[in-house]
Chain A
Amino acid sequence: MSYRPAIQSIINAVETVIVGKEDVIAKSLTALLAGGHVLLEDVPGVGKTMLVRTFSRAIDLDFKRVQFTPDMLPSDLTGISMYNQKTKEFEYRPGPLMGNIVLADEINRTSPKTQSALLEAMAERSVTVDGEVKILPSPFFVMATQNPIEHEGTYPLPEAQLDRFLLKIEMGYPSFNEEIALLTRFEKAEPLEALQSVITKHEVEQMQREVRDVHVSSAVKQYIVRLIHETRNDPNTYLGGSPRATLALMKASQAWAYIHNRDFVLPDDVKALAGSVLGHRILLTAEARYKGKTAEQLVKGWLDTLPVPMDREVKEV
């Protein structure tokens, strides 16, 4: 992997805190640069929060954290207007969404009402408080976490809302050596405290614009569309990828190519991200679920057999 210098410096910075997890770091960065949001799904304690905090530090972004609870209200996210006795006016008190990086912890613990407020903000990049539209700061990057183990008292996110996350990433446990390194790193110091930001907010916005210029050839577009068509035609899927998924796959691939120092997308980029982009957007049939199949397995199967287009000429299959 060869990253461009700015990207490399972010990754290096993040890696001073997070041990291993290059893939997760690269994918998170991809989502940030593509202007999308990330759903981190894993058991507690694997470093989801640490990852997000490290990111916000390294990029000099305004970090906000929301711990979702069942009794949380939408206004707890968006902020509220309060009556100021002195000025005798309503004043807007911004909620935690008014940050650049928002860690939405345990998003599945809150009520659908609150969830949809978050997701609306993610999509619109604005919130409405008392009929007044408040534009969210830019960049706006939500990293939501959810715990796949607990089901008691949780509100699983509806498919339509999952679709709004560009990538779903699983952290996974560190390997043996990584865990040893983790112990050593945190034995005497707190690396996060020492972390200096390596890139400004402005530069991030600049990168986000550059990502849009990454060239997507017609061959790659065909590859993406064929892959999405596979998700719709496979007998194991109940719901395949939406056109939004197609778009997401392309944008994510652009960002992935960009951070890999390329100004054009390769089929390899599509392949690398297809699992994370499509995994949470596909619904399996009851039969497939019963057989123990997962969306990730299906995606892998499609990728394994789908021929990679090798010319510009568009051919419908």
Chain B
Amino acid sequence: MTAWIKRIVYTALAAYLLSFWAEPIVGSTTFDVNWPFLFLLLVPMFASLLPWYGFIGVVVFNFFIVLYVYHGSILDWFGLWLDDLSGVLSGALPEEAIFFSAMALIGVLFAILVGRTYPSYGFVLGMIVSTLGLMAYFDTWTLYDGEGKILLAILASLLLLFVTDLAKRPSKSLVRYVSIALLASVVLALASVSPTLEGDWSDRLTTSFQNAVNDEGSGSGRVGYGVNDEQLGGPFEQDDGIVFIARGVPARYWRIESKEIYTGKGWIESPVLDSEYNRGQLVDQAVDTTPEQALLRFDRRQTFVPYGGEYPQATETENGTEFRVGNIEEPFPNETIHIRPSGKIVFDNDGQTTPQTIQLRYSVPSFTEEQLALNEPVTTLTEEERQAYLQLPDSLPDRVRDLSADITADSETPYDQAQAVEAYFQSGDFQYNTEDVAVPEGDTDYVDQFLFDTLIGYCDNFSTSAAVLLRASGVPTRWVKGFTMGDARGIIQGEEEYTVRNRHAHSWVEYFVEGAGWVPLEATISFSDANLLQVETEDEANADDPAANDPQASQDDEPTNRPQEDLALDDVTSGEAATENWNMPVWGWIVIVFTVAVLVWNRKSIERLVMMIWWTRRPLNENRLVAMHRYLVKRLRGAGFKVDGRTPSELAAEVDAYYESTEMTRLTRLFEQSIYAEKTPNSKYKEYWKIMIRRIMS
């Protein structure tokens, strides 16, 4: 009876460990629900306690029940499966049906392992290592957050080891229980009276944000979105940590906020500005906009909300401008979010952090060429605002102003001036580089140093310089921070997804055109503004989403904006192809890798299973008996028994003494009868053999 309790606890703990797999694996796919996979993984585990026919029955029944509840119908599922299979064979993304089957297969595989190997340290250790490894991997590299769960997993692992020990070395003595209980209470007592330090669960993603590129001090920063931009410059390291995944949108730059005051070293926010453009609008009402809805999944809660076009929808309330975020995970009705004049969306909750999933609605402006070509006096901005957007520090060297005049000499409209500045950077003298970038020291001006001295830099250098040059020519500008569109994950369940990482942090410029509004400008060389600025030509004036997905077309429109060098960080065309190839079967790879890992870890159990099936299904003859006995002896040697120089019965006596069993002796009697007395092998040998193999290899 107690043996059964041990076995049930063992199986339950193993199943509990396996349940940790569902969330990260499913989370890396487009499935939104875990429960079908939990059922597929765990029910077979428990069914492994049943005899084989019960096991098969439960597994099949479970599969179809889960399928029915999840999918709504079973009948059309086979068709789906075939479609999916043919799709995969022709190189497409595996869809629901195959993933479903793969998870079911993993569940059955583990169930067979746990049932057939019970109790096995090998299986348990493999299970623990792969579970913890999987959690650690997904926690570090994906949106999955395993902080709280890993403790539970470790606890379950230790318990599982303990149960395995109990099952493998049955003992009536209470010493084990008492000593464990004693040890646990001592540890607990010590822990509760010891002085404590607040846990620090920060991992590399958080750290990278704290050390973001704009951090003070010299030394090499890490790229990412930072708050402090007062001191720009210096090299940074690339960081692949994921910030969020955007779903349902084409490739699009993600705006977070803008800054207005250039200090000569960096940017700061101006005193509060107030204009209608800061109340939910970036562009003039005359400009066509297309509503767009995006689902952002954050790796962890952030203090900012990136958005794709104009500010997300805001509403006027008694308390001022409020901004509501539709949250698909939890009701979020009372949380208000303010839009700062810079366009930054600030949460009023305690941590000032976003929910992990945000459903955003915003409008994407699409300028016409006529609108961009406008050259009206600025009237929409107040004088205060105008001055803020034209602000330049007194320390700015005159040669910067002279250069600005030179560059824009032939340009009349703000748009032309902006194009001239962009073209100036692409003249070939400038170089995109993230490593050999200087920090201006002493009185050196950041822009001046870049334009005349180093000519080497990254987005901050180009965007700041462009903003300053345009201001010097009388065009109101502001410096914008955010992310580029990120890495394409491909089309998942019919919608595009992009993974935005720390290294996609970016800065660009917005300049003001009266009658059009704030027009974005991608000043950094080797970056395309195809995903930043939409310009309607007459032909496509009525198109909803022109050119956004077609870098080639955009490049034709903007021949000066072709990516220049291999250094391009966010070269959309090449990036997309590369990432798609890698991303397409991500979970498929994960499943394969972990299946292989589990197989390798449990190779003994699998070998045992194979040998069992291989030998015991066939009638026993002398050759098979000899082969089986040889295998058994080989396993005994592997288990540490001295085999050479031992007669079968000597070995049997030692083995039975060790395992406190009798089967080895009985088996050996039968073996001797057929080999040394040369009689027909007795088929009872197989039974004892199975028992012994199970015992040795568990």
Contacts and interface: CB of A to CB of B under 8 A. Distances in A.
A307 B622 CA distance: 20
Interface of B: 622, 626, 629-630, 633, 643-650, 672, 675-678
Contacts of B672: 264, 266
A195 interface: no
A117 interface: no
Nearest to A215: B677
Nearest to A309: B675
A219 B677 contact: no
Contact of B645 (A217, A263, A308, A311): A308
Given A310-B626, A310-B629, A271 B675 contact: no
Contacts of B650: 268, 271
Contacts of A264: 672, 676-678
Interface string A291-317: 000000000000111111011100000
Contact of B649 (A215, A265, A268, A304): A268
Nearest to B673: A264
A312 to B, nearest CB: 7
Interface string A231-251: 000000000000000000000
Nearest to B676: A217
Given A305-B644, A307-B644, A310-B626, A217 B678 contact: yes
A265 B645 contact: no
A312 B674 CA distance: 10
B648 A303 contact: no
Interface residues of A, number: 21
A310 B630 contact: yes
B678 A305 contact: no
A311 B675 contact: yes
Contacts of A267: 647-648, 676
| Most interface-central of B630, B650, B678 (chain A CB within 10 A) | B678
B665 to A, nearest CB: 13
Contacts of A303: 645
Query: Nearest 9 A-B pairs (CB), nearest first?
Result: A264-B677, A267-B647, A304-B645, A311-B626, A268-B647, A217-B676, A305-B645, A308-B647, A264-B676
A220 interface: yes
Contacts of B649: 266, 268
A307 B676 contact: no
A243 B646 CA distance: 24
A268 B676 CA distance: 11
Contacts of B626: 310-311
Contact of A307 (B629, B645, B677): B645
A220 B645 contact: no
Interface string A251-285: 00000000000111111100100000000000000
B196 to A, nearest CB: 60
Nearest to A217: B676
Contacts of A262: 677
A220 B647 CA distance: 11
Contacts of A305: 644-645
A151 B491 CA distance: 101
Interface of A: 215, 217, 219-220, 262-268, 271, 303-308, 310-312
A307 B649 CA distance: 13
A263 B677 contact: yes
A220 B677 CA distance: 10
A304 B646 CA distance: 7
| Most interface-central of A264, A265, A304 (chain B CB within 10 A) | A264
Contacts of B645: 303-308
Contacts of B675: 217, 219, 310-312
A115 to B, nearest CB: 37
A312 B646 contact: no
Given A220-B676, A266-B649, A267-B676, 10 more contacts: A263-B677, A266-B676, A267-B647, A267-B648, A268-B649, A271-B650, A305-B645, A306-B645, A308-B648, A311-B675
Given A266-B672, A312-B622, A215 B678 contact: yes
B678 A310 contact: no
Contacts of A220: 676
Contacts of B676: 215, 217, 219-220, 264-267
B677 A308 contact: no
Given A217-B677, A220-B676, A271 B647 contact: yes
Contacts of A308: 645-648
A2 B361 CA distance: 92
Nearest to B643: A307
Contacts of B648: 266-267, 308, 310
B353 to A, nearest CB: 71
Contacts of A304: 644-645
Contacts of A311: 622, 626, 675
8 contacts: A217-B675, A262-B677, A264-B672, A265-B676, A266-B647, A268-B647, A303-B645, A310-B630
A29 B626 CA distance: 34
A310 B675 CA distance: 7
A311 B625 CA distance: 9
Contacts of B643: 307
Nearest to A311: B626
B625 to A, nearest CB: 9
A23 to B, nearest CB: 17
B666 to A, nearest CB: 15
A217 B626 CA distance: 14
| Most interface-central of B633, B645, B672, B676 (chain A CB within 10 A) | B676
A311 B626 CA distance: 6
A262 B629 CA distance: 22
B628 to A, nearest CB: 11
Contacts of B633: 310
A311 B646 CA distance: 15
Nearest to B679: A264
Contacts of A312: 622, 675, 678
A307 to B, nearest CB: 5
| Most interface-central of B643, B645, B678 (chain A CB within 10 A) | B645
A267 B645 CA distance: 10
Nearest to B671: A310
Contacts of B629: 310
B133 to A, nearest CB: 42
| Most interface-central of A220, A264, A310 (chain B CB within 10 A) | A310
Contacts of A306: 644-645
Contacts of A310: 626, 629-630, 633, 648, 675
Nearest to A257: B676
Nearest to A304: B645
B655 to A, nearest CB: 15
Nearest to A303: B645
Nearest to B633: A310
Contacts of B644: 304-307
A307 B646 CA distance: 7
A110 B597 CA distance: 78
Contacts of B646: 308
A311 B628 CA distance: 12
A266 B675 CA distance: 9
Contacts of A268: 647, 649-650
A309 to B, nearest CB: 9
Nearest to A313: B626
A271 B646 CA distance: 9
Contacts of B630: 310
B258 to A, nearest CB: 83
A175 B633 CA distance: 37
